[in-house]
Chain A
Amino acid sequence: MLEFNSVTKVFKSDFFKKPVVAVNDLSFKVDAGSIVGFLGANGAGKTTSLKMAMDFTRATSGEVHFEGLGQTKNEIFKNIGFLPERPYFYPHLSGRAFCHYMGKLVDMKKVDIEKQISYWAPKLRIDFALDREIKTYSKGMLQRIGFLTALLHDPKLIILDEPLSGVDPIGRKELKDIIVEINKLGKTVFFSSHIVSDVEEICDKVIFLKDGKLVYQGRVDDIINKNLKPVTRIRYTLNNETLVSKVENDNKTAKLKELIESNADIISIEQDKPTLENIFYNVGS
């Protein structure tokens, strides 16, 4: 659905300053119907890449392609819902007026806009504030109204830049649930984040950037399985005390035998799984 082909972006802020390569020969693919996480530390080039995808800024070289969204730019953009990082909206408009503004720009009828608002606003828990001026909104509420406008026109591809930043833990959970829900409705979701656990929780696929370069792209399960340690974690109770023992896979049968002989109650046996965060921390550093 979205494809980056050898995209490079070089910034030159000053004639005398050295050019900065923000994105370096980046190629990746976002498949239709998937939830893809775009990971990387601050300054890795995630936002710049999304800006190039949305044509806010032009790539120095390389191309961005959209498949199955339309032929012309207008057709393609009609099928994309975009939410920028730290969104700032017109402070004197009400949330509802802003939604109508965004809806009209995608040729929606008033009645359809209202229908979509009444469906998504309660789910995003922003319905109570729709008739208030946006200047009274908190950071989390801005994120929610932005999310609502991104979903308003029922787009096929939803691109979100750090949608979970600035949202409290309950709000994050709710937004993650909505991302999963819209994916179940057949939408493709591509979102950037620097919070690895969020990505691990809901994404099928992950694209990891470091210093503007692609480090990994593929399934979340694949990278975790590739990084499995040959260690088994045995949880057991002995003398009314719950203990965990980590043993090499080759030694696990012997260890289990030893525990059973000493009358230990085995609670669980599982292979030691690294978190995505641990893997990327190791790759990143």
Chain B
Amino acid sequence: MKELKKVQTVASYTFQEVLKSKVLYNIMFLGLGLLIVTYVAQQFTYGAPSRIALDFGVGALSLSSVGIAIFMGVGLLSKEIENRTVYMIVSRPVKRSSFVLGRILGLNLILVLNILILSLLTLTVYFLTGGAVQPLIFWTILFIVIEASMVLLVVSLLSLLTSATLSVILSLVIFFAGHAIKEAQMTTFTQNRPVLEWILDFYHVALPAFGKINTRDLLLYNQTVDGQFLMSALGYSFTYSAFLVALILIIFEKKNLD
């Protein structure tokens, strides 16, 4: 119970620290940009202004949250070690695991805040332009939160193993590859080459397959999604996130904080 309180304390001060580092201004700026772009795009579109609002909104949500996850996440743990701020925390009666969980939770709260603000803007424009309520909108927003959180875990893990620059590059590669892998598996080029197919299958299992939790295209093309797909996506993302968290905790526990 005490350790949970410490996780909460670290998370709360991480949230405050990131918030005061003007990331909120960037979110506001992005929100304003999103409104302008949506308005301009609608002027060139005939018949489906609400679809445009949704398309731009969901795109901005995803990109900004993944951007925050990668560029803020890369220093979440590694910068703490580099700047020796971690010494101030782990020299107190705080387990290393509580520190790591608190930091991750704190930045996740920032991601949620970012997605919440941009979602509100997007939905306001969407409903004002005549969009109808669809449950898939809310599922898509939830999956964007989960996706950003998984990217944050990936970049945090990489930052403990390699340099900051390489962590950012690798995270971007993993993010884009994680979306493209499903399509790549379905091409005849892959299907005609068993070795390549095996490599892609292995990648699909070992590295995060973001395509499995992507409902954005389904939402934009007004398709329906069954409950089994949603449950399987949720199950996959939670299992994979738990695996990443466990890896981060083991590495950080063993790491010499030099």
Question: Which of chain B's residues have a CB closer than 8 A to the CB of A55?
Answer: 90
Other-chain residue from B9, B20, B90 in contact with A101 (beta carbon distance below 8 A): B9
Docked-complex contact A105 and B93, CB < 8 angstroms? yes
Interface string of B1-37 (1 = CB under 8 A from A): 0100010011001001100110000000000000000
- Flag whether A4 is at the interface (Cβ < 8 A): no
Interface residue tally for chain B (C-beta within 8 Å): 25
Docked-complex contact A87 and B88, CB < 8 angstroms? yes
- Flag whether A28 is at the interface (Cβ < 8 A): no
Interface residue tally for chain A (C-beta within 8 Å): 32
Question: Which of chain A's residues have a CB closer than 8 A to the CB of B257?
Answer: 51, 56-57
Q: In A180-205, which residues have CB < 8 Å from any B CB? A: none
A159 to B, closest residue via Cβ = B91
B82: min CB distance to chain A, Å: 9
B98 to A, closest residue via Cβ = A105
B22 to A, closest residue via Cβ = A92
A75 to B, closest residue via Cβ = B93
B84: min CB distance to chain A, Å: 5
Docked-complex contact A97 and B84, CB < 8 angstroms? no
Docked-complex contact B88 and A149, CB < 8 angstroms? yes
Question: Which of chain A's residues have a CB closer than 8 A to the CB of B83?
Answer: 88
Q: Give the contact stretch, choosing among A76-84, A115-123, A162-170, A270-278.
A: A76-84
- Flag whether A281 is at the interface (Cβ < 8 A): no
Other-chain residue from B17, B93, B94, B256 in contact with A90 (beta carbon distance below 8 A): B17
Q: List 11 A-B contacts (CB under 8 A).
A: A54-B91, A56-B256, A58-B256, A77-B93, A78-B92, A92-B16, A93-B16, A97-B16, A102-B88, A104-B9, A107-B2
**Contact surface of A with B, Cβ cutoff 8 Å:** 51, 54-58, 73-75, 77-78, 80, 82, 84-90, 92-93, 97, 101-102, 104-107, 133, 146, 149
